[in-house]
Amino acid sequence: MRKRNIFVGILCASLVSGSGCSAITSNSNTSSNQQEEYSAILPYESSDTRVKHVGIIASEDVRIQIEDGLMDLSKQHFSPSEVGYKTHTFLDYDELDATDGSRGLLGTLRDDNPNGLNPSTNDEFDTGNGKVKGATILVDIYELDWYAKDDLKGISLGLVVNDRVGDKNTKIKKSKMREYLKVTSTKLVNYMRSRFNEINDNIPIYVATYELNGSETADDTGGYIYSGYFEGNNQDYTALDEKWYRVPSTSLTSKDSTTADQFTSFQDAMKDVLPDNTYVIGSAEYEGDTLTKMTIEITAHGKTAGEMLAVSQSAQKNLSKFKKRTCEYTVRIMNNDTVYCMMKRAANSTEVQSVTSM
């Protein structure tokens, strides 16, 4: 879960009245870092799809990974310095629907739902590990709309798919998933171009797919696996290899023992700062074998301002245990159920930006 620089300001504004914000350290490159992030088109208009997203995926971390990851991937096509974003300008709740699978883009393909993107209940889907009848592959769609002032400059769509289907949780092989995604992405783009007047053939549309990990014993939650870029009559498809791992976990230790050891060292340094145990968990994103992001959540049970300040200062100091500079590190410190502090160490930097609720 990646927390952006803008969240620091949001945190300050949303804290309980009477609490101030005090920065522990500031990075001299803050302005350049912010230029790499997209700006929301204000006033921001929430979409009714927010209810749909929460109903489909309960984990806030995963929902943020999906949309935040879509923003990161979109930067290769839509520059943050040239466009801002809106969400779900076109695909609202009714467009997605699929409450009972009978209608909407998330529904099944049938005579009375010709735009359904899931296979017909009467068709057998070839997973590569056997054929499954009535497979539900596509479970959600995220939409980011890129605007320069009032002009639509492009759209990014995040398809969320199951990696397993059917009563026996049959795993879909990569080759079969890519065949499905290529057809589905093209169908969705054509639908949007024909359905909405504002989306003509010259509006570029980027479609990336986040695959959920349906294994009950897995240490990773999923990641982006495939993308397509559509502009005019041109289509360009790319295989992606992104995955989020729980930290600590045996899977992370097997993949990257150095980072796993550094996290354990950080965890050990934090647990005894206060008389009550301080708990540390996290998530790590990899692109192939490269660690790109790590999010850390620290839960403390401080009784005084001095205790919580000690926790935040210890966390800031011990971030130096993580040696990989190409990775972005984000830390959220919770005191019981309240956010006390947010920290961020940007990629290729040793400086830590930090803000507390005091």
Gap between the Cα atoms of 284 and 90, Å rounded: 32
Mind listing the pLDDT tens digit for each residue in 106-148? 999 999 899 999 999 999 999 999 999 999 999 999 999 999 9
CB half-sphere exposure, 298, CA atoms < 13 A: 34
**Mean pLDDT of the region 243-249:** 95
The three-point CA angle 146-149-151 to 5° equals 60
Which of 91-100, 130-139, 182-191 is least confident?
A: 91-100
Mind listing the pLDDT tens digit for each residue in 295-315? 999 999 999 999 999 999 999
Gap between the Cα atoms of 157 and 28, Å rounded: 34
pLDDT at 6 (0 to 100): 37
Query: Bigger pLDDT: 313 or 21?
Result: 313
Mean pLDDT of all residues belonging to the chain? 89
pLDDT at 26 (0 to 100): 37
Is cis: bond before 248, omega within 30 of 0?
yes
The three-point CA angle 340-344-349 to 5° equals 155
Query: Bigger pLDDT: 136 or 10?
Result: 136
Question: Pairing between strand 242-247 and 234-239?
Answer: unpaired
**Mean pLDDT of the region 238-259:** 95
pLDDT at 323 (0 to 100): 94
pLDDT at 18 (0 to 100): 37
Gap between the Cα atoms of 68 and 64, Å rounded: 6
80 burial (CB, 10 Å; 0-12 / 13-18 / 19+) is middle
Which of 250, 241, 253, 234 lies closest to 287 in space, CA to CA? 241
Please give the sequence-ordered ranges of beta strands (E in DSSP) within 174-241, or none if there are none.
205-212, 220-231, 234-239
pLDDT of 16 > 80? The answer is no
pLDDT at 103 (0 to 100): 83
pLDDT of 35 > 70? The answer is no
pLDDT at 239 (0 to 100): 96
pLDDT at 78 (0 to 100): 98
**Mean pLDDT of the region 315-336:** 95
pLDDT of 14 > 50? The answer is no
Model confidence at 358, pLDDT cuts 50, 70, 90, reads: low
pLDDT at 220 (0 to 100): 87
Gap between the Cα atoms of 108 and 122, Å rounded: 10
CB half-sphere exposure, 24, CA atoms < 13 A: 24
CATH of 247-356, one of 3.40.1160.10, 3.30.300.190, 3.40.50.300, 3.90.1210.10: 3.30.300.190
- Fold of the domain built from segment(s) 38-240: sex pheromone staph- cam373 precursor fold (3.10.570)
Query: Bigger pLDDT: 217 or 251?
Result: 251
Sequence ranges of the domains in the chain: 38-240, 247-356
* Sign of the Cα pseudo-torsion (97, 101, 105, 106, in order): positive
Is cis: bond before 204, omega within 30 of 0?
no
Mind listing the pLDDT tens digit for each residue in 202-232? 999 999 999 999 887 788 889 999 999 999 9
The three-point CA angle 323-328-331 to 5° equals 95
